[in-house]
Chains A and B, each alone.
Chain A
Amino acid sequence: DSGVTQTPKHLITATGQRVTLRCSPRSGDLSVYWYQQSLDQGLQFLIQYYNGEERAKGNILERFSAQQFPDLHSELNLSSLELGDSALYFCASSVDRGGQETQYFGPGTRLLVL
């Protein structure tokens, strides 16, 4: 158990819909990352927040958005869903030890778009 929690574990929805994925980082971790993992694309970095502010951005679609709240939990919003958005979505939190950043991954949310 990494200490990072994600809800829900599974999500089934239809094309065109909007969903929200939630992540709670490990106690004390200020950074939250979001990743998408699909069979053909591997693990894709979406976005990072640090203490409520956007820190780094990957290939996140405009239909996707995220935020980190004052209590440090984060939400990833996916809208106008397409079949290709079906994937495993991971959240990770990190601690920086003298320049070494160790990420701890949550169990993931499996999204199926029908």
Chain B
Amino acid sequence: GQSLEQPSEVTAVEGAIVQINCTYQTSGFYGLSWYQQHDGGAPTFLSYNGLDGLEETGRFSSFLSRSDSYGYLLLQELQMKDSASYFCAVRDRGRRDDKIIFGKGTRLHILP
């Protein structure tokens, strides 16, 4: 089947670094994306990995290892406004279907 696993909650301190992991199981992997969603808001795109390695966008970085079916989102210099839910998502283009699968989200709590 198809599934994504990510931790339900993570807590970190303002100014610190936090890593949110995502493991996936798909039949036809076609890229891993990360989205941020604040309470009451819509998801917003953060990062995309189509190939192995690290992608950096400001304070956010994302990593992918296709051989390990694993990726992570790294948030540096945490700010209180980073308190939100973070979702990993995979495009699965199998032989018979094409769908997008989201993880259940990781709620990031930031302590002052």
Which residues of A are in contact with B by a Cβ distance under 8 Å?
Answer: 2, 33, 35, 42-45, 48, 55-58, 90, 92, 99-108
Chain A hits for B48, CB < 8 A: 100-102
With A42-B105, A99-B50, A100-B50 as known contacts, state yes or no: A105 contacts B44, CB within 8 Å: yes
Q: Which residue from A45, A99, A105 sits with its C-beta under 8 Å from B101?
A: A45
The answer to whether B43 touches A44 (Cβ under 8 A) is no
Listed stretches B9-17, B18-26, B68-76, B91-99; interface member: B91-99
A35–B100 Cα gap in the complex (Å)?
Answer: 10
Within the complex, what minimum Cβ distance (angstroms) separates B44 from chain A? Answer: 7
**Contact in complex: B100, A58 (CB < 8 Å):** yes
Assess the B42–A2 pair: CB atoms within 8 A: yes
Tell whether A90 pairs with B42 under 8 Å between CB atoms, given A56-B98, A57-B99.
Answer: yes
Which residue on chain B has the smallest CB distance to residue A58?
A: B99
Is there contact, CB below 8 Å, between B100 and A48?
A: yes
Q: List 20 A-B contacts (CB under 8 A).
A: A2-B44, A42-B105, A43-B87, A44-B102, A45-B99, A56-B97, A56-B100, A57-B97, A57-B99, A99-B31, A100-B31, A100-B48, A101-B33, A102-B45, A103-B33, A103-B45, A105-B42, A105-B44, A107-B42, A108-B42
Chain A residues near B33: list those with CB within 8 A.
101, 103
Please report the C-alpha to C-alpha distance between residue A2 and residue B36 in the assembled complex, in whole angstroms: 13
Q: Is B109 an interface residue (CB 8 A)?
A: no
List residues of chain A with CB within 8 A of the CB of B41.
107
Closest to A97 in B: B48
Which residues of chain B come closer than 8 Å to A100, judged between CB atoms?
31, 48, 50
With A45-B99, A100-B50, A101-B48: A106-B104 Cβ-Cβ less than 8 Å: no
CA distance A106 to B87 in the complex (A): 16
